Amino acid sequence: MGSSMSYDLQKNGYSGVEHGRSFTGWWIGACDDTSWLHNVVGLLSEMASVRVASPIYIEPNELSNDYYEKRMSFIDPWPGGWWRLRNLVDYELTLSQSLIKTAYLHKNDLLYNFYRMNRASIKDRSKGEPFAYIVPARQNDGLTALKMLQVLMFGGVKVHKARRDFTVGSTLYPAGSFVIKLSQPYKPYAWALLQRQKYPDIRQYPGGPPVPPYDNAAWTLPLQMGVACDEIMSPFEADLELMDSVALPPVAAPGDSPYLALDSRLNASFAAAFGLLKEGVEVFRSKGGFTAGTLEAPAGSFIVKKSAQAAKVLPGLLEKWRLTAHGLNDISGIPVSRIKNPRVGLYQSWRSNMDEGWTRYVFDDLNIAFTTLHNTDFKPAKGSKEKTVDLGAKFDVIVFADEDPDIIKTGKPNPNSEWARYYRQMTVPPEYEGGLEQAGVDALKAFVEKGGIVVTLNEACLFAARELGAPARNVLEKMERTKFFCPTSILRLEVDNTLPMGYGLPEETAAVFADSVALDTWVPPAEWDRRVVARFPKDGVLLSGWLLGEDVISRKAAVVDSSFKKGRVILIGIRSQHRAQSHGTYKFLLNALLYPQAE
């Protein structure tokens, strides 16, 4: 099919077409390869880009030998010259029409092979293949477990539900547990999402540096979403029913109790809390665990004071998020802290930061109101008498998504950075140049001193440490790849869930490590303090993917809650909201936004 597309491009006079290019066979957890796991042909085409939509001119001598010399898979090199958006679109339209034509001519073969592969997925069982995966009924966040099952079923995976208790080996699974048998048409897809990956240790040469994967080395969905999921190798018997859809739990009407409790283990409880606060409802967070009816509520659970306004908005929020509110008659014996509706700012540089986009997606998904901040928002306006912008006048929390600290401050990476070559200076309007600069850093420091909260995610933690003085240091800076290497993988964390930043999380969780940090902390100067909320364990750090140099990050901090004067600088050194997939660690970010007010 690719050869036919190449032929049609050549027939239409489009040069510079290469076909048969080899790529990694390791699925990277991306949409463009997902067709393979559904027994469907998947083809990747990429055109040379332009400068957004502006034409570019390439001199012939600027073409590398790879794109200048003829070979069997590249018979008609492009000679150089002008390359426009129009060219890009013409190439894509031609190859897309060619694909449709070829699929039409070979319709019967394609459909028959699709049938054969689906049949093999059902009948054949390869060596080392599990019999099934079980999602137990009891979960830390049951609603997120149901969301994971919805994702699987959206991708065509067949899911069963147990009508009665059943036993596998010595483990008893209660009725209501879910079973994903691998004997099904889309077995490759289900298996890829549910299994723990073990990326091969590939080196440039024996004993040399590791060869990085194209993208992810791991993507195990249950680990990312914080869902307990057991791999079962041997066949077992259970009374199961095939699900047509995921049934969400019924919502009971709030009772007449003067207070209501929402479980902090549920991400949905945070979304409801944001909705209540937005409408002016009084909300508290517990400092410890307590009992509310059938709920054994953990620390950080939300307590809502019943009022006319609460009665008006709460039923709709419970219905939307499928939550149960548990009645409380008296909270005098429960230590609590008040929380307020946070005015959230999210920094957006002019460097097309994908993680910032994903953070916006998560905020929108959970109905978290926020304001996008640009460089000018951190600097006094021209002609202003003020030397420093008062960020606290408009914001309570300012979030920095994963980004190079030099880009945050200056708008461009350090010249010695491995990414510097990707940031060729282009002519852009002056308002889209630069970063926060020193004026922005000074404004952030003043914001924290007066009680503001700065939240930094992943690599942005280096900005907090270097520029804001947070008492932490990344032990991985300038680390050689032969000593430590962890391409996007899933690692184990130990969490102190008695601290406000750990509320609602289990004592052990899985976190996405993607160009992330491992932090050393120390006893800070008098005006600073710090608490380590999550750390890498002493050993057994890797859960899925590839990790070299476990000892380098052993016992190092991953999440640090530091305070300075009246405010806080929070360092979340992992991808807590990675591509809106890592629901299991959302709470690190959500807790930072709903941090209990100081007494």
CA dist 156 and 201 (Å) reads 32
CB neighbours of residue 297 within 10 Å: 23
Global pTM reads 0.94
**3-class DSSP string for 500-526:** HHHCCCCCEEEEEECCCCCEEECCCCC
What are the structure tokens assigned to 559, written together? 């999440």
Q: What is the DSSP letter of 250?
A: P
Q: Are 572 and 517 in contact (CB under 8 A)?
A: no
Report the mean per-residue pLDDT for the chain. 94
Report d(CA 131, CA 486) in Å as an integer.
30
d(CA 598, CA 314): 26
Pairing relationship of beta strands 557-564 and 567-572 according to DSSP bridges:
antiparallel
**Identity (one letter) of the amino acid at 508?**
E
Which distant-in-sequence residues (6+ apart) come within 8 Å of 127 by Cβ? Answer: none
Which residues share a beta bridge with 562? 530, 569
Distance CA 332, CA 328 (A): 10
Greatest pairwise CA separation for the chain in angstroms: 81
Residue 137 burial by CB count (10 A; 0-12/13-18/19+): exposed, middle or buried? middle
Give the C-alpha separation, 372 to 347, whole Å: 6
| Token pair in block for residue 327 | 């009645």
Partnered with residue 209 across adjacent β-strands are none
d(CA 260, CA 283): 10
Beta strands in 8-155 (DSSP E): 56-58, 81-83, 132-135
Q: How far apart are CA 444 and CA 421, in angstroms?
A: 30
Per the CB < 8 A criterion, the answer to whether 116 and 36 are in contact is: no
- The answer to whether residues 587 and 504 touch, using CB atoms and an 8 Å cutoff, is yes
Q: Dihedral angle at the C-alpha atoms of 141, 146, 148, 153, nearest 10 degrees?
A: 170
- The CA angle 496-302-150, to the nearest 5 degrees, is 85
User: By three-state DSSP, how is residue 244 classified?
Assistant: coil
Token pair recorded at residue 43? 């083809």
pLDDT tens digits for 115-144? 999 999 999 999 999 999 999 999 999 999
Instruction: List, for the chain, all residue ranges whose pLDDT scores fall below the cut of 50.
Output: none
CA dihedral 566, 571, 577, 582 (to 10 degrees): -120
Decide: residue 599, CB within 10 A, 0-12 exposed, 13-18 middle, 19+ buried.
exposed
Length of the chain: 599
**Residue 285 parent element (H or E):** strand 283-286
pLDDT at 426 (0 to 100)? 61
- Residue owning tokens 């592969």: 117
Alpha-carbon span 325 to 319, nearest angstrom: 11
Helix (H) or strand (E) holding 297: strand 295-297
* Helices within 374-497 (DSSP H only): 405-410, 437-449, 461-467
Beta carbons within 8 Å of 257's beta carbon, 6+ residues apart? 306, 327, 328, 329
Tell me: the pLDDT tens digits for 277-302? 999 999 999 999 999 989 999 999 99
In angstroms, the CA 508 to CA 285 distance is 22
Contact, 543 vs 223, CB < 8 A?
yes
